[in-house]
Chains A and B, each alone.
Chain A
Amino acid sequence: MSELELALTQIARELDYPETPDLTGAVRRRLAEGRRPRSWRRPLVLLLAALAVAVGAVLAVPQARSAVLDWLGIGAVTIRQVEGLPEVELATGDLGVGERVSLAEARERVRFPVRVPTLPGYEDPNVYYAEPLPTGQVSFVYGSLDKPQLLITQVSALGALEKLVNTATRIERVSTDDASGVWIEGERHFLFYPGAEREEPFRLVGNTLVLERNDGVTVRIEADISKEQALRIAESMR
C-alpha cells in the first residue's frame, strides 16, 4: 500500500460520522406497516379487485391516492396506476438509451448477464449503454432511434424505474420458465427514472412486457406487438 493509500485509511479514522441511528427499530416498523410495494407474486386479480374498490374510496383524497396505488413492484420497475396521467413534455427522438456500443462492451460494463434474443430476426440488435442507474442499463434497439420498431432494456436494480399507467390500461400477469412479470397494453403509459441525476423526460411507450428474471435482471420489451410475440422474444433470450 502506498503512502497516499495509507494516508487515506488514516483519514478514515478521523471522519466526522454522525451517530448511527436506530435503524433496526425503524426497519421493523416499516416492515410491519408493509410500506413496500406489494410483491407481484400476489395474485394480480386480487390486487385489481382491491384497486377497483380502493380507487372509488380514495380518489377524493389526493395524498392517499398514490399510497394506495403504489403497489406493484417487478424488479427494477414500480408500476403506479393512477387515474390521470400527468401533462408533461414528452421526449422526442430520444429514447434515453445512451451511447452505441458493441455487445461485448455492454457486457463488460455491467455486472449482470446480458442476454440476446435468439429468435430469427432479433439476434443482431443495435446495442446501447447508459447509466441512468449506477448499475448501468443495456438496451437493444431494432430499427432506428427515430423510429424504433422494438426496444429491449435490461437493468439490475430494485425499484429504480417507475411506470405510470392509466387505470384504463390493461395489466396482465405473465411468466416464462425463468421469469415473472406483467404485460401492459392499451391506454398510453409513461416511463421515467425517479431521482435521476438529470431530468429524464417522461417517455411515452407502446405495449410493454416487464419481466423479473430469476437472476435479478429486469427485462422490458416495448413495441406495438402482441403479448405472445413479446413472450416469444423474451423466452428466446440467451
Chain B
Amino acid sequence: MGRPLTEAELVERAKRGDQDAYGDLVHAYQGIAFRTAYLLTGNAADAEEAAQSAFVKAFYALGRFRPGAELRPWLLRIVANEARNRRRSAGRRANLALRAAAAVTSGGAAPSPESSLLDAERQSDLLAAVNGLREEERDVVACRYFLELSEAETAEALGLRKGTVKSRLSRALEHLRERMEVADV
C-alpha cells in the first residue's frame, strides 16, 4: 500500500483533470470552506451553495494556482468571494448566533477557565456588537478571530492588503470597545 499523496501531489493531479484527487482536496477543506461561507452569509443554504460553487470554480482555476503557494488561503479567497456575492444578492446581513447551550450558561455554575473571560450575557452582547459592525469590519473580525486565520490569510481570503486588514481590525476593535462600554451603562 503506497503512502498517502501530499497536498502538492493532489494539486498537481487535479490540475491534470484528476477529479478524484480534487475530491480529496475538497474533503480536506470543506469544513473551513463551509464555515467561512457561513460566517459571511449567515445562512446555511447560501453557505452551502457558495462553498460548492467556489470549489467548482477553483477546480477550473487551478491552472493559475502557483506551485508552492498555500492552497488554503487561495481556496478561501474564492469561497469568500462567492459568499459575499451571494450575501449581496440576497440583500441581507449575516447575523451570527451562539449555540443554545452557550447562550443559557450563566448564573450559579462555577465558570470554566475557557469561559472565565466573559459570561454568557456578555458573550451575547459582544456577538451582537460584532453583528452590528459595518460589513467590511465584520468580515475581517470573522476571518481573524472566528476562523482564527492569520492576518496574512485574512488578507488573502478577503482580497485585501495586510495593511488594510490591520487598519480594519483596529477600527473594528475600537468600535466593539465603544459598543461594549455603551452596553455596560
**B-side interface mostly:** helix
**In the complex the two chains form, is B34's CB within 8 Å of A21's CB?**
yes
Q: Is B57 an interface residue (CB 8 A)?
A: yes
A11: contacting residue among B27, B31, B127, B159, CB under 8 A: B127
Q: Is A135 an interface residue (CB 8 A)?
A: yes
**In the complex the two chains form, is A134's CB within 8 Å of B158's CB?**
yes
* Nearest-CB residue, chain A, relative to B84: A134
Q: Is B48 an interface residue (CB 8 A)?
A: yes
- For A32, the chain B residues whose CB sits under 8 A away are 19
Give chain A nearest CB distance to B144 CB in angstroms: 8
Interface centre among B48, B86, B155, B177 (most CB of A within 10 A): B48
**In the complex the two chains form, is B159's CB within 8 Å of A27's CB?**
no
Give chain B nearest CB distance to A32 CB in angstroms: 7
Q: Is A144 an interface residue (CB 8 A)?
A: no
Complex Cα spacing A68 to B59, Å: 21
* B interface list, Cβ under 8 A from A: 19, 22-23, 26-27, 30-31, 33-35, 38, 44, 47-48, 51-52, 55-57, 59-61, 64, 78, 80-81, 84-86, 88-89, 91, 96-100, 102, 114-115, 117-118, 122-123, 126-127, 130, 141, 145-148, 155, 158-161, 164, 173, 176-177, 180
Please judge, given known A-B contacts A16-B97, A111-B159, whether A24 and B56 are in contact too, CB under 8 Å. no
Complex Cα spacing A136 to B161, Å: 12
**In the complex the two chains form, is B146's CB within 8 Å of A158's CB?**
no
Q: Is A39 an interface residue (CB 8 A)?
A: yes
**In the complex the two chains form, is B98's CB within 8 Å of A15's CB?**
yes
- For A133, the chain B residues whose CB sits under 8 A away are 81, 85
**In the complex the two chains form, is A23's CB within 8 Å of B19's CB?**
no
B35: contacting residue among A3, A4, A8, A20, CB under 8 A: A20
Q: Is A160 an interface residue (CB 8 A)?
A: yes
- For A197, the chain B residues whose CB sits under 8 A away are 88, 91
Complex Cα spacing A26 to B26, Å: 10
**In the complex the two chains form, is A26's CB within 8 Å of B173's CB?**
no
Give chain B nearest CB distance to A49 CB in angstroms: 23
Complex Cα spacing A28 to B27, Å: 11
- For A11, the chain B residues whose CB sits under 8 A away are 98, 118, 123, 126-127, 130, 145-146
Interface centre among A10, A22, A36 (most CB of B within 10 A): A10
Please judge, given known A-B contacts A11-B123, A134-B80, A195-B86, whether A5 and B161 are in contact too, CB under 8 Å. no
* Nearest-CB residue, chain A, relative to B115: A10
**In the complex the two chains form, is B81's CB within 8 Å of A14's CB?**
no
**In the complex the two chains form, is A108's CB within 8 Å of B161's CB?**
yes
Complex Cα spacing A39 to B173, Å: 43
* Nearest-CB residue, chain A, relative to B176: A4
**In the complex the two chains form, is B78's CB within 8 Å of A27's CB?**
no
Please judge, given known A-B contacts A6-B117, A21-B34, whether A12 and B52 are in contact too, CB under 8 Å. no
